[in-house]
Amino acid sequence: MAIPVMKTSAWIRVRNSKIHGKGVFAAKRIPKGTRVIEYLGERISHAEADARYDDHDPNDNHTFLFIVDKKTVIDAGVGGNAARFINHCCDGNCESVIEARRVFIETTRAVEEGEELGYDYEIGREPDDPPNVDEIFACRCGSPKCRGTMLWPPEDPRKKKSAKKTAKQSGKKSPRTTPKSGAKRGRADAAGRKRSRKS
Ligand SMILES: [Zn+2]
C-alpha cells in the first residue's frame, strides 16, 4: 500500500531560528523514531536542478534541493512544505530516510517541546566547488560535535568504504539508499543528502 503523503505535521511549528532563518520546532514532545514530516517539493532531474539554479549566487547557501537518487532531486523551492525549513545540524535530533523514492524526516531521539529539529545535510562536495565553499556552507549549529560546515567531509582517497560508513552513520533503521561497491562516485553516492545549488 502506498505511504500516505505527509504534507503537514501536528508535531511541528515553523518559526524564526537562531541557527539560520526560519527553523522547525517541536510543538510537543516527539518520541524517538517518529516520522515527523515528508520532504516535499517538485521532483526534477539533476540536469533540471542545474538549469534551474544556474545563475544562483554561489555565496548563498540556501538550498531546498534534496537528492533522492541518481535520477531525481526534490526541489522544495517549488511546492515545498515545512520540511524545507528544518535546519542543518551536525549532531541533530533527526535523520532523513528514503523510502519508496520519497524522503521523510524522522527523529533519532526524543525531542522536547520547543526544541529545534535538525539533521545532517551531508552536502556532497563537487569538483567545481569554489575554494571558500566551507565558508559559504559554514555551520553554526552550536553542537559540541559541530564540523563547522554543512558539507560532508572530503573523502579520503585511501579508503573506499564511504558507502558503508554512510549507511552505518545513518542508523540501522534507515533504509537510505547507499551506492553499491564499485558504483561510480558522484551524485549517486549522494542519495539522501541535500544538494548545493550550483551545478
Ligand atoms: Zn554544525
Q: How far apart are CA 20 and CA 131, in angstroms?
A: 23
Cα distance between residue 62 and residue 81, in whole Å: 15
Instruction: Measure 91 CA to ligand 1 centroid, in angstroms.
Output: 7
- Do 143 and 170 meet the contact criterion of CB atoms below 8 Å apart? no
Q: How far is the CA of 168 from the centre of ligand 1 (A)?
A: 20
Weakest-pLDDT range from 109-113, 135-139, 163-167, 193-197 = 163-167
Q: Which CATH architecture has domain 12-195?
A: Beta Complex (2.170)
What is the full DSSP assignment across 115-134?
PBPEE---BPP-TT--TTHH
pTM above 0.95, yes or no: no
How close is the Cα of 173 to the center of ligand 1, in Å?
Answer: 23
Write the pLDDT tens digit of every residue in 44-89: 999 999 898 877 777 777 779 999 999 999 999 999 999 999 999 9
- Rounded to whole angstroms, how far apart are CA atoms 158 and 182? 14
- pLDDT band at residue 184 under the 50/70/90 scheme: very low
Domain residue ranges of the chain, discontinuous segments joined by +: 12-195
- How remote is the CA of residue 89 from the centroid of ligand 1, in Å? 5
Q: Determine phi and psi for 22, rounding to 5 degrees.
A: -90, 150
Looking at beta carbons, which pairs linking 20-23 to residues 24 or more positions away fall under 8 Å?
20/87, 20/88, 20/140, 21/62, 21/85, 21/87, 22/85, 23/85, 23/86, 23/87, 23/116, 23/117, 23/118
The one-letter amino acid code at 170 reads S
CB 162 within 8 A of CB 180: no
Distance 18 CA to ligand 1 centre (A): 13
Q: How confident is the model at residue 146 (pLDDT cuts 50, 70, 90)?
A: very high
